[in-house]
Amino acid sequence: MLIVSALPLALAALAPNSAFTVTIIPVTASVFLAGLHFTLTRTIRWSIAVVTCVALGQLINRLGLGDDEVLQTVVAALAQALVVVIGPLLPACVLSSHRAATSAQREMLNALAREREAQISEAIAHERSTMARELHDIAAHHLSGISLMAASIARQCESHPEAAKDGALEIRQQSRAVLHDLRQLVGLLREDDDQQIKTLASIERLVDTANRNGRRVDLTVLPDGERDPGRLLSPLAQLAGYRMVQESLTNVGRHAPGADSTVIVDAGDSDALHLTVRNTSPTQRHDSGAGGSGLGILGMSERAALVGGSLDFGPTDDNGWVTHMRIPFDPDRGNR
């Protein structure tokens, strides 16, 4: 742009003529292109030099043609130079600003798209983790029971065939329960699915199943006469409590064989429900090689945190184990 505007100075000095005005055409084009491709501040700074060159060229050419009105010639040359520069610079700046705004909008849309993809990926990862915990809870509870009953049947086939037969029927029932829970879990992924989710009322059946499998588990619901301790809990909170009891009883059978267990559902607190699973010291030797994966405690802790509750666990003074979950009541479900 500066070269195109400076070259006519030599032409005006060496051969002034009336066709000199044609030289503003390349100057106008160069100013327009500069306004499109460079920042406004940079273009204006260089445009001042262009205005100076164009004005000097016009002045030298008119004086060379014999124009005696110096002041009038200077004003006319400066005015022409300003028109030559400002004329193409204004539309160039408008187009450049529009292009910059379009580019910024495109970048914003791309950023939003990347953020949305990140959120989708995070949601998918969370769902995968939730599904893994659900599968762990279902498989660990039922399959550990089936494994224990199968080992018992192997010893009873000859000495107690009737008991072995009952155990085989119980394995069949447990297998059906596994399939039912798996179908229910898969059903959660369907929008039109209306299968019933596990609630605190299902804990009684959980305890009955454990007792039928030869384990001693006592259930206590507080306060006395409370028929629906989970009525002030959301379905998700009730599912979290159910899974906590299920996982705890599974851990008792796996890590404390022969131990007696107690399940306490306490709805007497005005702010939260308290679930406690306590077991005594195991009466059988525990095989340390059959350790768990660690997903059980992790899953219970994450479930408690998901519903705004907390989980405490640890050994007791009598060499047993206790797990306690606190689940706050849902204020939208009424006051106690």
Residue 199 has pLDDT above 90, yes or no: no
φ/ψ of 216, rounded to 5, equals -100, 110
**3-class secondary structure, 177:** helix
Sheet with 261-266: list strands edge to edge: 217-222, 261-266, 272-279, 321-328, 310-315
Tell me the C-alpha distance between 48 and 45, whole Å. Answer: 6
- Could you give the percent of the chain with pLDDT greater than 70? 84
Taking only Cα atoms into account, the Rg of the chain, rounded to an integer number of angstroms, comes to 42
- Domain boundaries, given as residue ranges, for the chain: 2-113, 199-336
Peptide bond before 223: cis, by omega within 30 degrees of 0? Answer: yes
Name residue, tokens 């204006």: 44
DSSP letter assigned to residue 195: P
Q: Considering the domain 199-336 in this protein, what is its CATH number?
A: 3.30.565.10
Q: What are 263's strand-pairing partners?
A: 219, 277
Query: Dihedral, CA atoms, 77, 82, 84, 89, nearest 10 degrees?
Result: 170
The residue-averaged pLDDT of 101-123 equals 81
Kindly report the average pLDDT of the chain as a whole number. 80
The amino acid at 274: H
Query: Dihedral, CA atoms, 293, 294, 300, 305, nearest 10 degrees?
Result: -130
DSSP letter assigned to residue 216: -
Cβ pair 217, 265 in contact under 8 A: no
Name residue, tokens 């164009």: 54
How many Å separate Cα 161 from the centre of its chain? 55
The amino acid at 314: G
This prediction has a pTM of 0.46
Counting beta carbons within 10 angstroms of the beta carbon of residue 60, is it exposed (0 to 12), middle (13 to 18) or buried (19 or more)?
buried
At residue 163 the predicted structure's pLDDT band, cuts being 50, 70 and 90, is confident
Element (H, E) at 321: strand 321-328
The amino acid at 262: T
- Interval 274-310: pLDDT, tens: 999 999 988 765 544 444 555 678 888 888 888 889 9
Tell me the C-alpha distance between 170 and 178, whole Å. Answer: 12
Residue 194 has pLDDT above 70, yes or no: no
At residue 185 the predicted structure's pLDDT band, cuts being 50, 70 and 90, is low
- Interval 140-156: pLDDT, tens: 666 777 777 787 787 78
The amino acid at 300: M
The amino acid at 122: E
